[in-house]
């Protein structure tokens, strides 16, 4: 993960360790997910296979009752 984030930002992994934080990782993961989704849409592949339906239902039920 460290190498992938550093490559994305064009810096050395050691620089990322010194100057980076968890926001950098969150941004990288978000961009990566968006890019993967756009690629699947372009290839007309299933874009809903990333999520387990039972897990999503459980999350929904937990939020619904709060």
Question: pLDDT by residue (tens digit) across 7-23?
Answer: 989 999 999 999 999 99
DSSP 11-61: S-HHHHHHH--HHHHHHHHHHHHHHHHHHHHHTT--SSTTS-HHHHHHHHH
Which domain range does residue 24 map to? 2-64
Number of domains in the chain: 1
Does 56 have pLDDT greater than 90? no
pLDDT of residue 43: 96
């Amino acid at each position: 993960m460290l190498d992938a984030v550093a490559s994305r930002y064009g810096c050395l992994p050691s620089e990322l360790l010194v100057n980076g934080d968890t926001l950098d990782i969150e941004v990288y993961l978000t961009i990566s997910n968006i890019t993967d989704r756009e690629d699947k849409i372009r290839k007309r592949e299933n874009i809903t296979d990333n999520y387990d339906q039972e897990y999503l239902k459980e999350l929904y039920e937990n939020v619904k009752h709060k």
